[in-house]
Amino acid sequence: MSRGVGVLDDLSERGLVHDTTDQQAVRAMLAEPPAVLYLGIDPSASSLHLGNLIGVLVLRRFADAGHRPLALVGGATGMVGDPSGRSDERNLLDAETLEANVAAIRRQYAHFAGVAETDVVNNADWTAPVSVIEFLRDVGKHVTVSQMLARESVRSRLQGTQGISYTEFSYMLLQAFDFWWLHAHRGCRLQVGGSDQWGNIVAGIDLIRRRSGAVAHGLTWPLLTRADGQKFGKTAEGTIWLDGDRTLPFELHQYLLRSDDADVGRLLAQFTLLPMTEVREIAAEHARAPERRLAQQRLADEVTGFVHGTEAVSRANLAAEALYGTAPLSGEMLDALAGIVADTRAAGEDLAGPESLVGLLVDSGLCTSRGDARRQLAQSAVSVNRDRVAQSHVEPGWLIDGRYLLLQRGRRERRVVRVDP
């Protein structure tokens, strides 16, 4: 079996095949790399999110198998909004925001998917020059209203209370036009996406057949939810972004560390580039001692390393050990808390005196006043370097590496004190 066809078996083993067109024909197409395929992502935000990583890695898997993936950023479709998977109308972005989002997504796409810059394409480049009359004549006449109404994304909205605007109703035509254009101009014969995109993908396949008489194909993967039914990549605080300025690498790492045992094997298969033989070995070792959470640790390290690099993994693990571990604290650990736990600076003289700790608690913002600080200390609500303390002054021996303290009030409020030489 050729390496090109092997990618389809690999995707199936990873649980990443939900719907396909004629699988035998898809196999024949993949038998002679490079087959050209594409995945589209609309720039509704300035960063890809964790859920997008499945699709990005699917492109990467095809590229590693010798095929040529195209990473499409929807500068045109992003102005309309895809109704798939939504019960309400999307807010339309202004041109300036959309342009900034497109530029940000292009950079991430090229980096994560491992595609050439010339293979990151923007559908505004071929859609914007087309007039409304041309679009209706060349695209609209090939698609019936009954076909569009039959699509799940449209039908579900019509059955709801919000309905669907003509703008979002037309999204399917725009995506179909993308597939036709990439087929005609870039030789693209396969579109991939999440299962909620199947109707849009089929519309493109139909348009190619009607306009060009050619055969194109589609492949989708299941939409990912956690064992508890919640959408993967979402938290009470919001979306897990791949941009480290929007979601800290530590936060991404922690989110993955908290993965349920029922999910972690599937996540390792779908969110990492680990070979399936290794995924099965990790899952088997995890099953023997689930309390050690080895699979979650490997998942968090692999994904964080892929997105942010190995240094970010090291810092995330050091920060986690500082906050939740039992190993002796070190300056390296507390340095890793930068950006995670708020810092406060102190001079050497601030650590002298009978109420030096009281002063630090106030200066750091952990307590609102010196009286509040004294009450918290009396109630054993304050910890220094993980140990509860009641005294109001700092002991010289508390300093870690001669210049750090970790203060904590209650269970969650923390500050790193950095003492200036």
| Inter-residue contact 272 to 338 (CB < 8 Å) | no
Q: Across residues 243-249, what is the average pLDDT?
A: 96
* Percent of the chain clearing pLDDT 70 (strictly above): 95
Indicate the pLDDT class of residue 142, thresholds 50, 70 and 90. Answer: confident
Output the pLDDT for position 55. 96
Bridge partner residues of 235 (DSSP): 238
Indicate the pLDDT class of residue 147, thresholds 50, 70 and 90. Answer: confident
Indicate the pLDDT class of residue 219, thresholds 50, 70 and 90. Answer: very high
* Percent of the chain clearing pLDDT 90 (strictly above): 75
Output the pLDDT for position 168. 79
Q: H-type helices in 142-219, by residue range?
A: 145-150, 152-159, 166-169, 171-186, 198-212
pLDDT digits (tens, 9 = 90+) for 251-268: 999 999 999 999 999 999
Output the pLDDT for position 140. 87
Among residues 400, 372, 402, 376, the alpha carbon closest in space to that of 388 is found at 376
Q: How far, in Å, CA of 75 to CA of 82, rounded?
A: 12
DSSP 395: -
pLDDT score of 2 more than 70: no
Q: Across residues 296-306, what is the average pLDDT?
A: 98
Output the pLDDT for position 83. 65
User: Can you spell out the DSSP letters for 105-157?
Assistant: HHHHHHHHHT--GGGEEETHHHHTTS-HHHHHHHTGGGS-HHHHHHSHHHHHH
Among residues 137, 122, 127, 175, the alpha carbon closest in space to that of 153 is found at 175
Q: How far, in Å, CA of 163 to CA of 15, rounded?
A: 33
pLDDT digits (tens, 9 = 90+) for 64-121: 999 999 999 999 988 887 666 554 555 677 889 999 999 999 999 988 998 888 999 9
Q: For the beta carbon of residue 166, count every other beta carbon within 10 angstroms.
A: 6
Q: Across residues 320-348, what is the average pLDDT?
A: 94
Output the pLDDT for position 87. 46
pLDDT digits (tens, 9 = 90+) for 149-171: 777 777 777 776 667 777 778 88
Average pLDDT for the chain: 91
Output the pLDDT for position 5. 59
DSSP 275: -
pLDDT score of 221 more than 70: yes
Output the pLDDT for position 1. 40
Q: Is the dihedral of CA 383, 384, 388, 390 positive or negative?
A: negative
pLDDT digits (tens, 9 = 90+) for 39-80: 999 998 999 999 999 999 999 999 999 999 999 999 998 888
Q: Across residues 370-396, what is the average pLDDT?
A: 95
319 or 350, higher pLDDT: 319
Residue 44 φ then ψ, to 5°: -75, -10
Q: For the beta carbon of residue 170, count every other beta carbon within 10 angstroms.
A: 15
